[in-house]
Amino acid sequence: MVTKTNDGGLIEKFFRWAEQLPGSMALFGCGDLCRALVAKYPERFQCVVEMDGKLAGGRIGTVRVLSLDDYLLEPTKNILITDADRQLDYLDWIYRNVMPPNLGDLGRIEIRYHHTWRPAEQYDRKLARTKAALPMVGTLPDQSLMRLMDCVETCLPLAGDVLEIGTGMGGSAFVIASVIEQSGRRKKVYTLDRFTPVSYLPDLNYDQVRKDLERFEFVTVIQGTIPRVFDTLEIGPVSFCFIDMFAFPEILEFVYPRMNPGGMILIDNYNHGADHIHGIPVADYFFHDKPERIIRVGGTQGLLVKHP
């Protein structure tokens, strides 16, 4: 609880923000600090926002309590996050749903909170939540998992769908679809593979992957061999592409023209041990006469952002 903090000036800090910040204001969290602010400034706050929605529709003092979805219908210029225990959850939701360009007509949005977490805690908590919710991704390296999630989240505001080339067992597609589902945005996901068992994936099975992903109505699993599968693949502009196989020229020739400006291509096997001979030379040569350059990330991956 907020009242257990060792910072004796915490309440005074929030009191100052309530007095000094101009414009409409919302409190995120319904704990003791929130109630103290409402009691002292009953006319200052437009609403209280509660993540779980259990108190939504009620009031704290004279101030209405809204769910996250209801808050999006009447956002505020200022947000005070009073719940220290769920601070990171609120921040994550705010950055994905409230910050421009999502609600750009508000202009600059002020977010204030008491910094209570270690620099690495946001990474650790997000990773733990993802692995607990998505058991399929347990075999993905932590850094690769987080980088994939970050890329998908970064591209969410962009127009265009998502393409994965190299479905494998479906773990990455599950992560991509989950991020999109949680964001509430409408995007289609296309994931394709030939689904032929190999030595390192002996149980690869098209029907099983389709079953694992069927809960996501916006995901299409496609079986086919590159490059022939591209002849029948009808897909519009792309905001994010994850290439989880060697970056053959045919893949890049298909993907690159479809990428929207600002969209990202993440190549998983760009610098994969001895197999880098299939990744770095092919990918770098493809882009040698283009304005973009691939950035090596995480040791084995390559990342590219499409120029305007």
DSSP reduced 3-state for 134:
coil
Listing DSSP states for 41-109 in one string gives -TTT-SEEE-SS-SSTTSEETTEEEE-HHHHHHS--SEEEE--STTHHHHHHHHHHHTTTTTTGGG-S-
Question: Token digits for 302?
Answer: 């390559």
Q: Report the 10 Å Cβ neighbour count for 236.
A: 10
β 238-243/259-267 pair status: parallel
The reported pLDDT for the residue numbered 291 is 92
CA 198/CA 210 separation, integer angstroms: 19
Q: pLDDT tens, 244-287?
A: 887 788 999 999 999 999 999 999 878 765 444 556 778 888 99
Distance in angstroms (rounded) separating the CA atoms of residues 57 and 36: 20
Q: Which amino acid is at 71?
A: Y
Helices 206-213, 171-183: crossing angle, 10 deg rounding: 20
Q: In this predicted structure, what is the pLDDT of residue 127?
A: 58
DSSP-derived 3-state class of residue 218: coil
pLDDT value at position 276? 46
DSSP reduced 3-state for 245 = coil
Reduced to 3 states (helix: H, G, I; strand: E, B; else coil), residue 307 is: coil
- Residue 79 CA to residue 124 CA, distance in Å, equals 25
CA distances for 130 relative to 90, 95, 140, 178, 236, angstroms: 16, 18, 11, 9, 29
Return the closest-CA partner of residue 170 out of 225, 116, 215: 215
Nearest of 113, 116, 130 to residue 29 by alpha carbon: 113
All domains in the chain, ordered by first residue:
2-113 (3.40.50.20), 123-305 (3.40.50.150)
- Predicted pLDDT at 133: 55
With H, G, I as helix, E, B as strand and everything else as coil, classify residue 111: strand
The predicted pLDDT at position 59 comes to 95
Give the pLDDT of residue 13: 87
**Alpha carbon distance 264, 292 (integer Å):** 11
Residue closest to 221 by CA, chosen among 203, 199, 198, 195:
195
Q: Are the C-beta atoms of 38 and 65 separated by less than 8 Å?
A: no
Q: How far apart are CA 284 and CA 156, in angstroms?
A: 26
Residue written as tokens 């009031």? 59
Q: Which residues of the chain have pLDDT under 70?
A: 1-8, 99-108, 115-142, 272-279, 299
Q: What's this model's pTM, rounded to 2 decimal places?
A: 0.60
Q: Do residues 162 and 243 touch, judged by C-beta distance below 8 A?
A: no
